[in-house]
């Protein structure tokens, strides 16, 4: 699988503090690895093919990631977790307007997955994966969801939103966000030719109906 051009790279999400030359190579490795892990999972991805797609030799991967594929996977998932945290947790700072806060977070996450469909695909795969080595890293990506859950529970207790079941509401919202961008076959089956912005509008309207008090 070759490098896919014309889309935002995962490394645009977060830059690693290394020298410029190493940064370019490291970025290529992380970008390529994200695509391979999304397509084949941790166990199925080939470190050799990741290296070749990054235009370096397989042995050179260990200059940047001495731990090999596992360390490379950890780097990808750390960037994903940090990005999701910045987008979601960074917004939940207005307890007096919880509906608007959650709507804003949902839109920000939608735009993020729209720019980085490989990340959505990776999360969709890892959510149902049985690879023990990957589980801990995937758990780190759920921290932002846990923070939003606490925010939502607080809003429910303060009677500022409808009394939804927080875990079910968040699971539904996350499923739409991730599967719309990460599973194109499912999206095409369910939504046909529905434009992204129209789908986003429908999602936000549904979230608003579920949460906003009459």
What is the secondary structure of 85-98 as a DSSP string?
Answer: HHHHGGG---TT-H
Q: 59 and 89: one domain?
A: no
Please state the domain count of the chain.
2
What pLDDT, on a 0 to 100 scale, did the predictor assign at position 66? 93
Q: 64 and 165: one domain?
A: no
pTM for this prediction: 0.77
Nearest-angstrom CA–CA distance, 91 and 116: 20
54 in any annotated domain = yes
Q: 55 and 156: one domain?
A: no
Measured in whole angstroms, how far is the alpha carbon of residue 136 from the centre of its chain?
15
Dihedral angle over CA of 84, 90, 91, 94, nearest 10: 150
Q: 176 and 189: one domain?
A: yes
| CA dist 151 → 14, 111, 170 (Å) | 26, 22, 12
Q: 66 and 79: one domain?
A: no
Which CATH number is 158's domain given? 1.10.357.10
CB 48 within 8 A of CB 41: no
In 77-129, where do the E strands start and end? none
95 in any annotated domain = yes
* Residue 12 pLDDT class (50, 70, 90 cuts): low
Q: 84 and 166: one domain?
A: yes
Q: What is the pLDDT of residues 96-137, one digit of tens each?
A: 899 999 998 899 889 988 988 888 888 888 776 655 666 666
CB 91 within 8 A of CB 204: no
Q: Of 19, 44, 70, at which residue does a domain stop?
A: 70
| CA dist 55 → 10, 119, 202 (Å) | 17, 22, 42
Q: Which domain holds residue 154?
A: 75-211
If 0-12 CB within 10 Å is exposed, 13-18 middle and 19+ buried, where does residue 183 land? middle
200 in any annotated domain = yes
């Amino acid at each position: 699988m070759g490098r896919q051009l014309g889309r935002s790279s995962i490394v645009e999400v977060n830059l690693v503090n290394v020298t410029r030359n190493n940064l370019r190579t490291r970025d290529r490795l992380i970008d390529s690895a994200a695509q391979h892990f999304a397509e084949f999972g941790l166990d199925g991805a080939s470190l050799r093919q990741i290296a070749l797609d990054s235009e370096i030799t397989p042995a050179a991967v260990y200059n940047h990631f001495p731990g090999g594929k596992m360390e490379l996977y950890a780097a990808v998932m750390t960037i994903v977790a940090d990005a999701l945290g910045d987008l979601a947790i960074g917004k939940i700072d207005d307890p007096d307007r919880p509906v608007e806060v959650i709507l804003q977070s949902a839109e920000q996450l939608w735009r993020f997955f729209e720019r980085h469909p490989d990340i959505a695909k990776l999360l969709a795969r890892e959510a149902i994966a049985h690879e023990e080595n990957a589980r801990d890293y995937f758990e780190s990506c759920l921290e932002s969801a846990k923070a939003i859950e606490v925010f939502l529970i607080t809003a429910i207790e303060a009677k500022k939103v409808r009394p939804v079941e927080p875990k079910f509401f968040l699971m539904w919202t996350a499923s739409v966000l991730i599967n719309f961008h990460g599973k194109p076959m499912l999206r095409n089956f369910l939504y046909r030719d529905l434009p992204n912005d129209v789908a986003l509008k429908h999602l936000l309207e549904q979230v608003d109906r579920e949460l906003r008090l009459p």
